[in-house]
C-alpha cells in the first residue's frame, strides 16, 4: 500500500557460523524516510543487510522484522524482493555468462506478475535512459554481469539496478567505497532522484562523505551488533570530525577482537 510503508526491526539477533553478530537490533523506518547507519568495521552492518535480504548463511535467533505488518522473516528471498526490498551490495558478485542487460530484465520481470512482463522495447528505452543518467558506457549493457568491472563500475551498476527496479526500501551497503568524487555525486544524484513519499532508504556507510550528497533524516551508530546512538546529520558530522572513540568512552564499550574503528 503506498503511503503506509512501515519497516520495523525489533530485537533482532543473528548468528553467522554460530557466532552472534546482531545482538538486539532495533530500527523503524517510515515511508519516505532516509536512514543512515554508520559504524566501525566489523560491527555487523553488512550482516544486517544480508539478514534483511534473507541470505541463508545468516541464522536469525530472535526478534522480528515486519514490512507493512507482514512478517519478513517468513518470506523467501524472492518474496522479499517482490515486496519491494532491494540491496545494493558492498561486494557485488560477478556472474560470467549472464549479460548485464539479461540480468536486469529478468530482475524486473521477477518482480512483475506473470503475463505482465516488460516489453523488450520499453526495457531497452528505460535501460538506455538510466545508463545515460549514471554516465555509464552503453557497452556495459552487453558485458557479463560485473565481470571485470572495476569497484566503482560495480557500484554504479548496483545503482542502475535500483533505478530500474524502483524498490520501496533500498538498502545500500557502503555504496560509496571505491567511488571517486564524481562517481559519488552521480550515484547520490541517482538516489536523490528516487526519493519520495513512497520510497525509503537505509544507507550503510563507513564515512560521512556520502551523507553530504544524500541528506539523511536520521543517523544511527552501530557498534557490536546494535544501534547505540541515534540522531540527525549532525551526529555523522561529529563522527567524521572526532571518530568513534568519544562515543565508545561514553558508552563504556571495549573493543572486541576483530573490530577496528
Ligand atoms: P561490517 O559490515 O560492519 O564491517 P560485517 O557484518 O561484515 O561487518 O561483519 C561482522 C562480523 O561478522 C565480522 O566479525 C565478520 O568476520 C563476521 N562475518 C560476517 N559475515 C561472515 C561470513 N559470511 N562468514 C564468517 N564470518 C562472517
Ligand atoms: Mg560491511
Decide: 17 in ligand 1 pocket, CB within 6 A.
Answer: yes
Please give the distance, rounded to the nearest whole angstrom, from the Cα atom of residue 90 to the centre of ligand 2.
Answer: 6
Which ligand 1 atom sits nearest the alpha carbon of residue 40? Answer: 3
Q: How many residues does the chain have?
A: 261
| Test site for ligand 1: of 42, 57, 58, 87, most ligand atoms within 8 A of the Cβ | 42
Q: Report how far residue 70's alpha carbon sits from residue 6's, in angstroms, rounded to the nearest whole number.
A: 10
**pLDDT single digits (tens) 150-208:** 888 999 999 999 999 999 999 999 998 888 888 899 989 999 999 999 999 999 998 88
| Test site for ligand 1: of 23, 47, 204, most ligand atoms within 8 A of the Cβ | 47
What would the mean pLDDT of 23-45 be, rounded to a whole number? 96
> pLDDT confidence of 260, banded at 50, 70, 90?
low
> pLDDT confidence of 210, banded at 50, 70, 90?
very high
pTM of the model as a whole: 0.92
CB of 234 closer than 8 Å to CB of 215 = no
Please give the distance, rounded to the nearest whole angstrom, from the Cα atom of residue 36 to the centre of ligand 1.
Answer: 19
Average pLDDT, the chain: 92
Which residue in the block uniquely carries the three cell numbers 553530504?
212
Residue 131 in grid coordinates: 545508463
Which residue in the block uniquely carries the three cell numbers 515486496?
83
> pLDDT confidence of 258, banded at 50, 70, 90?
low
Amino acid at each position: 500500500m503506498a503511503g503506509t510503508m512501515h519497516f520495523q526491526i525489533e530485537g533482532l539477533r543473528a548468528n553467522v557460523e554460530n557466532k552472534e553478530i546482531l545482538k538486539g537490533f532495533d530500527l523503524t523506518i517510515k515511508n519516505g524516510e532516509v536512514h543512515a547507519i554508520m559504524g566501525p568495521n566489523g560491527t555487523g552492518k553488512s550482516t544486517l543487510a544480508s539478514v534483511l535480504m534473507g541470505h541463508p548463511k545468516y541464522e536469525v535467533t530472535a526478534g522480528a522484522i515486519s514490512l507493512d505488518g507482514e512478517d519478513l522473516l517468513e518470506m523467501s528471498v524472492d518474496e522479499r524482493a517482490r515486496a519491494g526490498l532491494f540491496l545494493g551490495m558492498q561486494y557485488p558478485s560477478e556472474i560470467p555468462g549472464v549479460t548485464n542487460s539479461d540480468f536486469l530484465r529478468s530482475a524486473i520481470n521477477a518482480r512483475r506478475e506473470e503475463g505482465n512482463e516488460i516489453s523488450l522495447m520499453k526495457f531497452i528505452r528505460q535501460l538506455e535512459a538510466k545508463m545515460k543518467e549514471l554516465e555509464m558506457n552503453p557497452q556495459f549493457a552487453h558485458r557479463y554481469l560485473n565481470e571485470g568491472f572495476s569497484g566503482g563500475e560495480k557500484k554504479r551498476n548496483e545503482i542502475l539496478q535500483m533505478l530500474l527496479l524502483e524498490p520501496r526500501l533500498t538498502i545500500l551497503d557502503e555504496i560509496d567505497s571505491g567511488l571517486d568524487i564524481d562517481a559519488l555525486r552521480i550515484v547520490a544524484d541517482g538516489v536523490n532522484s528516487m526519493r519520495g513519499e513512497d520510497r525509503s532508504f537505509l544507507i550503510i556507510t563507513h564515512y560521512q562523505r556520502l551523507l553530504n550528497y544524500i541528506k539523511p533524516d536520521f543517523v544511527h551508530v552501530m557498534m557490536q551488533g546494535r544501534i547505540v546512538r541515534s540522531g540527525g546529520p549532525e551526529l555523522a558530522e561529529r563522527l567524521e570530525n572526532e571518530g568513534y572513540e568519544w562515543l565508545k568512552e561514553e558508552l563504556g564499550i571495549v573493543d572486541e577482537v576483530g573490530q577496528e574503528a
